[in-house]
Structures are given as C-alpha cells and as structure tokens.
C-alpha cells in the first residue's frame, strides 16, 4: 500500500462522494443517472432505480468505465464544462500506464496535497454497513466496503478519520486500522473466497467497484484488495498477470477466466474459484452475485485460463 501512495504526485484529488463513477466521456451520463453524478450522491437510489435496459446500456453503449470510493485518489489531467479528465492510479489498467482513465464530475473531487493527505496509518472499512458520521453536523453517510481513509485517532467506540470534508468518525468495529508500510495482512486463497461470500445476492452493476454493486472484475479486485493484494481493474488485465495455474490444479481463491467462442476468443468474464467445482462471481446485469457450478454449464465450455495472486 505504501508504494501506491508514494507514487502519487505532490498535488492530486480525492473522491468526495460515497462512490464516484468514471464515465467514458462527459456526454455519457443520462438523465436517469442524476443520483450518481451529484454531490452528495445517492448510489443505492441510483442503482435501484435503473431499469434492466438502462443498466444494460451502461455496458452495451460504453457509458461507464469504473468507479472510485470515498477518499480514493485520482489524478486530474484537465477539466471541461464541469467534468474532470482523470486517472485512477490505484486501479492498474492497460488503457493507461498511470491508472484507469475516464471522466468524473469535478464537484465529486477535492484537491489535496501529498503532505496533507498521506499519513502513517489508515482506517479501512471492513463491513458493508459502515457510516461516516459528522456529529456536530448531525449527518452520516453510508460508506462502501473497503473505503480507505487516513487515521486520525480513536475513542472507545469510534475511529476518527481525515476526509475531504474534515475530521469525521466511523464506528470502530466497522473498520481495521493498518500501517501505511504494511497495509492489510496478505490473506490465503480461502480468505479471498470468504471476503466475497457476504455479497451473495448483491445485484451486478456494470463498472461497479463498491459494495453498492460490483461487476465481475470489480468483485475480483475487491476480494483481493481486502486481502492485501492490489490487482488490475479489468478481467483481461487480471488474466495477463499473477501466477499461471493449470485448470486441473486450481485452488480456492484462484481467478478463473472465460472467453467467447468456447474459450478461444476474447476474455469477457472472471470468477473466483470456491472449491468443489464451484465459483463465486458477479454474472451479468439483472442477476446477483452467486455461487455456481462449472460442470455442464456455459462456463465449463468457456473456461480458458486461471491465475493466482495469493501467496
């Protein structure tokens, strides 16, 4: 984790809403996406309000690229009509060597300096029901699982965190505090699987990188991040790194990749091997995260590669 923070430039921006969506271009957001591009956002309302067709269009019409969580750094390359052209440096991608590219409304970002934002310790949200509290303002905001904020002390019941809006607090049991040098403790393959199990049933969301909705590679990214491994954002990039594992030697926690043309075409999906011939995955728009068998399914025919990132 330290290496990722140290690579940041002296001045950068941080996400100042629950979840900021990275759009393909400033024209991509539609009227029905208003709750996702405001400040504050209401991500749950947005996700739940979209019809199947509207949700599918996020993918089919290439509207959305990815998302960043509250407090997540981004590098702003330029601005145009209220939109920031950004790079998300914590999300490796072949699209740009610096991180994942796209556009975020500038109102969803706050400028900071490396000196002011970087700390020796960070608090990481480890549940899907944590809330960021500002007692003096009598406000609170739902946070995504794996939101990371600079640690600023604690009481018996809460941790205090640095945010784009000043010092606020989170119930202590909803977080774990880690040192910048070490980050989250590296987990096993089984730990990677277990990190995803609480989200069974959560609706698929194209471009989703939060516990308000994951896409297939977003879920793979999240369960690895939860166990101290920072991997690429997209399935194709995830399949190009890690340790190659033969299909007959896969173990729980390994990533399984699926390609069109019965495994001979382009990679289009990734799942996490659970063991016993099953995988955990976020399948597609209209469905929720699930455990599914591989045998005698389309996935058995399309399985083309496996990679291991855990040690």
- Which residues carry out catalysis? 216, 269, 281
Strand, helix or coil for residue 51: coil
Burial class (CB in 10 A: 0-12, 13-18, 19+), 35: middle
Q: Could you tell me how many helices (H) and strands (E) the chain has, helices first?
A: 10, 22
Number of residues in the chain: 311
Contacts of 304 (CB under 8 A, 6+ apart): 257, 258, 259, 263, 264, 267
CA 62 – CA 239 distance, rounded (Å)? 22
For the chain, the farthest-separated pair of C-alpha atoms sits apart, in whole angstroms, at 58
């Amino acid at each position: 984790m330290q290496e990722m923070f140290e690579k940041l430039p002296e001045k950068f921006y941080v996400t100042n809403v629950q979840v900021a969506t990275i759009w393909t271009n400033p024209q991509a957001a539609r009227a029905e996406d208003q709750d996702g591009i405001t400040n504050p956002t209401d991500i749950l309302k947005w996700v739940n309000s979209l019809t199947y067709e509207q949700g599918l269009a996020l993918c089919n019409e290439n509207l959305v690229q990815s998302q960043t969580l509250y407090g997540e750094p981004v590098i702003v390359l330029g601005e145009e009509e209220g939109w920031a052209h950004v790079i998300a440096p914590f999300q490796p991608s072949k699209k740009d060597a610096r991180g994942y590219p796209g556009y975020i409304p500038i109102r969803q970002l706050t400028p900071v300096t490396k000196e002011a934002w970087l700390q020796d310790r960070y608090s990481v949200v480890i549940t899907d029901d944590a809330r960021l509290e500002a007692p003096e303002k009598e406000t609170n905001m739902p946070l995504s699982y794996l939101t990371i904020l600079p640690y600023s002390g604690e009481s018996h019941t809460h941790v205090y965190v640095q945010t784009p809006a000043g010092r606020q607090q989170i119930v202590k049991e909803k977080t774990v505090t880690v040192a910048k040098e070490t980050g989250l403790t590296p987990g096993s393959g089984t730990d990677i699987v277990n990190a995803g199990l609480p989200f069974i049933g959560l609706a698929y969301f194209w471009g989703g990188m939060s516990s308000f909705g994951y896409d297939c590679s977003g879920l793979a990214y999240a369960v690895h991040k939860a166990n101290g491994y920072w991997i690429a954002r997209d399935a194709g990039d995830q399949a190009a790194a890690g340790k190659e594992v033969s299909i007959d030697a896969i173990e729980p926690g390994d990533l399984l990749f699926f390609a069109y043309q019965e495994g001979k075409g382009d990679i289009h999906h990734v799942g996490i091997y659970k063991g016993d011939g099953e995988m955990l995955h976020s399948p597609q728009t209209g469905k929720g995260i699930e455990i599914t068998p591989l045998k005698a399914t389309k996935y058995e025919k399309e399985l083309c590669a496996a990679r291991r990132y855990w040690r």
